[in-house]
């Protein structure tokens, strides 16, 4: 049984035209991402990093002393998150001063606060370390002090 209407077969000229149209469309669409990449590369030369910058410190080890003996060893790994637009090189240049100030502050913290209360107040510690960092690199450089690791070993 035959259907009425047009025949489903197409002429060779129509098939060739559709082929060239599809090929032309593919080339045009393929060129769009390449052109966008070129424009992004041109604009990217002057672009600044989009994410926050960090300065990571080596672990700092602090002895906790009660009386005449060391009761525990505390280790902490810190990382500074810089405020947007802050130059990481400026903070890196003061890395040794920061590490020394952090050690002194952490030593006092673990001798006084933890020895008295027997617990760690992380919010207070982070605020205290942020104040210490601001004293070294300036108040507008560091957004947050992050504690990556905190570990203790009782003796």
pLDDT in tens, 12-44: 666 566 665 565 555 555 555 555 556 656 665
Q: Tell me the torsion sign for CA atoms 92, 96, 100, 101.
A: negative
What is the mean pLDDT of the segment spanning 103-122? 80
In a domain, 12, yes or no: no
Contact 144, 81 (CB under 8 A): yes
In a domain, 70, yes or no: yes
pLDDT reported for residue 28:
54
What is the domain range of residue 82?
54-154
CATH number of the domain within which 86 lies:
3.30.479
Categorize the per-residue pLDDT at 71 as very low, low, confident or very high, splitting at 50, 70 and 90: confident
What is the mean pLDDT of the segment spanning 93-105? 97
In a domain, 89, yes or no: yes
In a domain, 1, yes or no: no
The total of structural domains in the chain comes to 1
What is the mean pLDDT of the segment spanning 83-92? 93
Categorize the per-residue pLDDT at 51 as very low, low, confident or very high, splitting at 50, 70 and 90: confident
pTM (2 decimals)?
A: 0.66
In a domain, 22, yes or no: no
In a domain, 33, yes or no: no
In a domain, 30, yes or no: no
In a domain, 23, yes or no: no
Contact 72, 154 (CB under 8 A): yes
Nearest to 110 by CA among 58, 59, 152: 152
């Amino acid at each position: 049984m035959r259907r009425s209407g047009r025949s489903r077969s197409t002429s060779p000229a129509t098939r060739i035209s559709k082929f060239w149209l599809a090929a032309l469309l593919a080339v045009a669409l393929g060129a769009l991402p390449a052109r966008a990449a070129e424009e992004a590369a041109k604009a990217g030369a002057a672009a600044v990093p989009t994410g926050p910058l960090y300065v990571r410190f080596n672990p700092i080890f602090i002895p906790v002393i009660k009386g005449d003996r060391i009761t525990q060893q505390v280790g902490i790994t810190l990382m500074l998150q810089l405020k947007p637009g802050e130059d990481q090189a400026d903070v890196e240049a003061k890395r040794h001063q920061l590490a020394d100030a952090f050690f002194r502050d952490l030593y006092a913290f673990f001798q006084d606060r933890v020895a008295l209360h027997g617990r760690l107040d992380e919010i207070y510690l982070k605020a205290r370390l942020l104040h210490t960092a601001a004293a070294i690199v300036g108040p507008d450089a560091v957004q947050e002090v992050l504690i990556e690791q905190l570990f203790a070993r009782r003796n």
